[in-house]
Amino acid sequence: MKTSKLYVFILLSLLSVSTSCRSIRQGKVLSKCEFRLESLQDISLANVRIDKVKSLTDLNLLDAGRITLAFARNSSLPMDLTANIEVKNPNKKTAGLNELRWILYIDDVKMAEGESKQRFEVPAQGTNILPLKVNLDLKKAMRGKSRSALLKFAFNMAGFGSSASRVKIRAKPSFKVLGGTIRYPGYIKITKEYTSE
C-alpha cells in the first residue's frame, strides 16, 4: 500500500515538473514574439461606415443624417472598429495564446478595454493577424469635448482628418497548460500613428 502511494507521489511530481517546464518554454517562445498594430479597419460612427470614404462630401444624405442625429441626442455615440495586431514569431516553435487582455488608448485617452478569449497561434518563424473587435461610446470616452472635436477625432481615425492620431494598445497575453493559466508579466505596448496622408 505504501509502495503504491509512493508511485502516485512520484508520478504527480513528474507531471508537475513537466508542466512547469512546458510553461517556461511557452513563456519564452511568447516573450520573443514581436507585436505590431498592422491596421484599423471596419470603422463606423453611429453605425455608419466612415473608413471607406475619402471626405465628408462622400457621405450620402442618409448617412450624414444618422451621424448628425446621433450628435444631437444626449445619449451615446457608438464607434466600432477592428484593430488588427500582427504577431511575428522568430522562434523555431509555434507560439500560442488563449487569452489577450487589452486596453486601447487614442491620443493618450483611454477609449476601451476588453479581452479576447479565442485560441490564437503563430507558426514557427511566421506571422499571423489577431483581430480585436473594439466597441466604444465616443461621447463617454471623450466626455466634455465639443462636437467638432469628436468629429475631428473620428475622421482622423478613418484616415481623412486634418491631423495625426496616435493609437496605443497595452496587451497582456496568456496561455493555458493543463488547466492552469500563465499570464505574460506586465503589458506589451503597441503603438502606431495615423495621418490623413
pLDDT at position 10 is: 36
Q: Of the ranges 76-85, 130-139, 174-183, which one carries the lowest mean pLDDT score?
A: 174-183
> By the 8 A CB rule, do 78 and 46 touch?
yes
Q: Strand, helix or coil at 164? A: coil
Virtual torsion, Cα 104, 106, 112, 114, nearest 10 deg = -10
Residue-level length of the chain: 197
Q: pLDDT digit string (tens) for 60-106? A: 888 878 887 877 776 788 899 999 999 998 888 888 888 899 999 98
Residue 102 CA to residue 189 CA, distance in Å, equals 10
- Higher model confidence: residue 25 or residue 57? 57
Q: pLDDT digit string (tens) for 138-160? A: 888 888 777 777 777 777 776 66
Whether the CA torsion 61, 66, 68, 72 is positive or negative: it is positive
pLDDT at position 162 is: 63
